C-alpha cells in the first residue's frame, strides 16, 4: 500500500519527466547551488568533508579487514557487523564523492546521474535498515534461545539472511 511519501516522489518524478501539464520535459542536468558560493568557505568544506569521507572509508575498511582476518571473530554478530561496514562504505560512496567534487569544480549533475544517485542511495539505505533488523533478530535469538543459538544461526543461515537483505 503506497504511503504519502511514495506519492510525493511519484509526483516529483513524473513532473520532471513530463512537465507540469503533461508535455515532455527536456531536463538534462541540474545546477547545484550547494552549501556556499564563497570560495574560501567552499575550500574549508572541501577539506572537512574529504577528511570525514576518508575516515569513514578507512574506519569501515579496517573493521571489515579485522573481522575477516581474525580467527576469534567468527560469530554471526561479527559477520553481520562486517557486512554493515561494507554497506556503510557503499552508502557513503554514493553521494560523498560528488559532493566533494562539486565543492571546488563543477556544480551540475546530469538527470541520469541524479536518478542513479537517488536509486543507489535508496537501495543501500534500505539494505542497511534490513541488515540492522537482521542483527536485532540475531541478538534476540541469542538472548531468548542461548542453548540452541549455534544450531539456529549458523554460517549458512547468516549468508542466506545477508543475501536476502
Torsion of CA 106, 112, 115, 116, to 10 degrees: -90
CATH topology of domain 34-164: Rhopdopsin 7-helix transmembrane proteins (1.20.1070)
Separation between Cα atoms, residue 19 and residue 17, nearest integer Å: 6
What is the model's pLDDT at position 25? 66
Please say if the pLDDT value at position 19 is more than 60. no
pLDDT, tens digit, 9 for 90 and up, residues 27-44: 788 887 767 778 888 889
User: CA-based Rg of the chain, rounded to a whole angstrom?
Assistant: 21
Segments of the chain assigned to CATH 1.20.1070.10: 34-164
Contact 79, 158 (CB under 8 A): yes
Contact 135, 143 (CB under 8 A): no
pLDDT, tens digit, 9 for 90 and up, residues 45-86: 899 999 999 999 999 999 999 999 998 988 888 999 999 999
Higher pLDDT, residue 26 or 18: 26
Contact 126, 154 (CB under 8 A): no
What global pTM score does this model have? 0.75
Separation between Cα atoms, residue 92 and residue 100, nearest integer Å: 12
Angle between helices 76-104 and 39-69 (to 10 degrees): 160
Amino acid at each position: 500500500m503506497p504511503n504519502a511519501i511514495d506519492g510525493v516522489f511519484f509526483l516529483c518524478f513524473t513532473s520532471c519527466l513530463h512537465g507540469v501539464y503533461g508535455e515532455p520535459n527536456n531536463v538534462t542536468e541540474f545546477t547545484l547551488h550547494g552549501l556556499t558560493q564563497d570560495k574560501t568557505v567552499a575550500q574549508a568544506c572541501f577539506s572537512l568533508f574529504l577528511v570525514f569521507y576518508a575516515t569513514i572509508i578507512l574506519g569501515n575498511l579496517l573493521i571489515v579487514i579485522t573481522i575477516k582476518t581474525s580467527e576469534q571473530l567468527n560469530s554471526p554478530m561479527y559477520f553481520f557487523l562486517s557486512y554493515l561496514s561494507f554497506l556503510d562504505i557503499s552508502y557513503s560512496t554514493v553521494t560523498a564523492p560528488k559532493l566533494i567534487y562539486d565543492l571546488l569544480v563543477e556544480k551540475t549533475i546530469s538527470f541520469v546521474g541524479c536518478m542513479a544517485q537517488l536509486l543507489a542511495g535508496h537501495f543501500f539505505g534500505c539494505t542497511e535498515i534490513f541488515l540492522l533488523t537482521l542483527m536485532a533478530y540475531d541478538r534476540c535469538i541469542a538472548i531468548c534461545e542461548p542453548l540452541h543459538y549455534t544450531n539456529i544461526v549458523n554460517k549458512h543461515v547468516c549468508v542466506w539472511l545477508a543475501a536476502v537483505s
